Amino acid sequence: MLPTDLDEPLILALRRSALVRPGDRVLVAVSGGPDSTALLVSGHEQGLDIVAAHYDHALQNGSPAAAEHVADLCRRLGIELVTERRTSPLTKGSVQAAARTLRYEFLERARAAAEADVVALAHTADDLVEGVVLHLMRGCGLPGLRGMPSSRGFFIRPLLSVWRREVLDFLSRRGIVALEDPANSDTAYARVRVRREILPALERDRPGISRRFYAVAQRATTIQESIAREAAAALVGGALDRAAVASSSEPVAVELMKILYAEAGGEQPALSRVHLKSMLRLAQPGRGGRGVDLPGGLRLRIVGETMEIVASETASARRDRPATRLEVTRCSGCADETAAHFKAGVELRLGFRRPGLTMRPRGGRTRKLQDIFVDARVPREERDTWPLVFAAEKLAWVPGVAIDSELATSPGTIGQHVSVVPYPLSQKSKIAVLRSLQSHAGEPT
């Protein structure tokens, strides 16, 4: 006789979880092991709209048999199954990491094909505790103490409150036999050593320590969620005032950097402690134009008083950039902020930064180009590719920043209306530069 729902931890976990909303179509990732099998069966018993998904990593001789085992279970339960077998080689490095990447990519495709709302993963409380111990062994802060999150994007983990022994009891009462992955016995993997050696040794000396680790993880999750809410409130429109970062507590400032990175398209987790430390250093008072290269081809930079993450320009992107040209027409002066007005007859040409360039901007003294760039908050990585306009060998115009006082025309005087196409400034950079110039000797043209 089966126990009632009130005695079934898996059924209670599914009922109490807010991860599956009424009417959701759920794609369940099924390896054939006890945890995923129990998740599939318990979801089926609860009448959820379920589709199963199995990915054959093709790493073991018995993987086709595991795929057939999952297919047979789904046929008996009357559940639709989406399957795929790996055909491409794994990337170099960690086999587990490469296999995990391919598996998640498959689950994304399967979710789209099945028109599912969420993808349910069968991680349990034991998995969460093992993750916490691994993070502690490597050295971690508060986020690492949380273990794995209950949800991230479309992926949900509704069994994180269920222990592995409860999973085995659930299957035993139903006479369901699940597979055991041979990799789960291979102590070459750190997680297996934690599961089979470290945690059992800790339990012998301190009975109940796994549940205490679990309680710590739950508390850390609550605190981290509070920090994340505070950080999200300070981030508006994908950019961030560095004063807000500098005035925040370190946990909030770190979370701000992570959110900014994620919103720029960075994958999580990818930022190391070194990255985060360098990012926070940029928030401290200092000149603009600085930056930090980040994983995924991204770069954090300071423009004016704004911290933003942009794509790092690759060599191929620089080669593919449209050719810059000058457009010159007659003009008696206008309010076009993207143009400069030069005296008639001055012969102009385009060029780029080189050592020793100076200019005397209108209303100021002669200054080095480097100092003009710094004061205008032009990002460091853009300075070498910023188009400059020369009259013979004399620097005449830094587009969007400053014009030479001897060559510029006075308002109402007919002269040359000169534009650089394409204009070098993004809208954000343009606004930052024009604002910064208001407090410096060089003025916008």
Instruction: Confirm if 208 and 201 have CB atoms less than 8 A apart.
Output: no
Tokens representing 302 are 């300071």
The arithmetic mean of pLDDT across residues 240-255, rounded, is: 87
Grade residue 413 by pLDDT with cuts at 50, 70 and 90. confident
The three-state DSSP-derived secondary structure of 330-343 is EECCCCCCCEEEEC
The three-state DSSP-derived secondary structure of the chain is CCCCHHHCHHHHHHHHCCCCCCCCEEEEECCCCHHHHHHHHHHHHCCCEEEEEEEECCCCCCHHHHHHHHHHHHHHHCCEEEEEECCCCCCCCCHHHHHHHHHHHHHHHHHHHHCCCEEECCCCHHHHHHHHHHHHHHCCCHHHHCCCCCEECCEECCCCCCCHHHHHHHHHHHCCCCCCCHHHHCCCCHHHHHHHHHHHHHHHHCCCHHHHHHHHHHHHHHHHHHHHHHHHHHCECCEEEHHHHHCCCHHHHHHHHHHHHHHCCCCCCCCCHHHHHHHHHHCCCCCCCCEEEECCCEEEEEECCEEEEEECCCHHHHHHCCCCEEEEEEECCCCCCCEEEECCCCCEEEECCCCCCEECECCCCCEEHHHHHHHCCCCHHHCCCCCEEEECCEEEEECCCEEECCCECCCCCCEEEEEEECCCCCHHHHHHHHHHHCCCCCCCC
The arithmetic mean of pLDDT across residues 134-162, rounded, is: 88
Residue 6 burial (CB < 10 Å; 0-12/13-18/19+)? exposed
The arithmetic mean of pLDDT across residues 197-223, rounded, is: 95
Query: Alpha-carbon distance 112 to 120, whole Å?
Result: 14
Grade residue 348 by pLDDT with cuts at 50, 70 and 90. confident
Question: Which residues face 299 on adjacent strands?
Answer: 293, 310
Question: Strand 348-351 to strand 388-391: parallel, antiparallel, or no bridges (unpaired)?
Answer: antiparallel
The arithmetic mean of pLDDT across residues 3-30, rounded, is: 83
Closest to 77 in 3D by CA, of 24, 28, 115: 28
Grade residue 321 by pLDDT with cuts at 50, 70 and 90. low
Average pLDDT, the chain: 84
Instruction: Confirm if 300 and 363 have CB atoms less than 8 A apart.
Output: no
* Domain definitions of the chain by residue range: 5-211, 235-312, 322-437
Residue 320: predicted pLDDT = 53
The arithmetic mean of pLDDT across residues 331-359, rounded, is: 83
Topology agreement, domain 5-211 and domain 235-312: no
* pLDDT digit string, tens, across residues 57-103: 988 888 899 999 999 999 999 999 999 999 888 887 778 888 888 99
Query: Alpha-carbon distance 124 to 158, whole Å?
Result: 8
Grade residue 156 by pLDDT with cuts at 50, 70 and 90. very high
Grade residue 48 by pLDDT with cuts at 50, 70 and 90. very high
Residue predicted with more confidence, 319 or 400:
400
* Range 235-312: architecture per CATH: 2-Layer Sandwich (3.30)
Q: What is this structure's pTM?
A: 0.65
Instruction: Confirm if 386 and 422 have CB atoms less than 8 A apart.
Output: no
Residue 238: predicted pLDDT = 59
CATH class, domain 5-211, is alpha beta
Residue 289: predicted pLDDT = 52
The arithmetic mean of pLDDT across residues 227-252, rounded, is: 82
- Cα 272 → chain centroid: 12
Residue 217: predicted pLDDT = 94
- Least confident window among 117-126, 157-166, 218-227, 230-239: 230-239
Grade residue 329 by pLDDT with cuts at 50, 70 and 90. confident
Grade residue 428 by pLDDT with cuts at 50, 70 and 90. very low
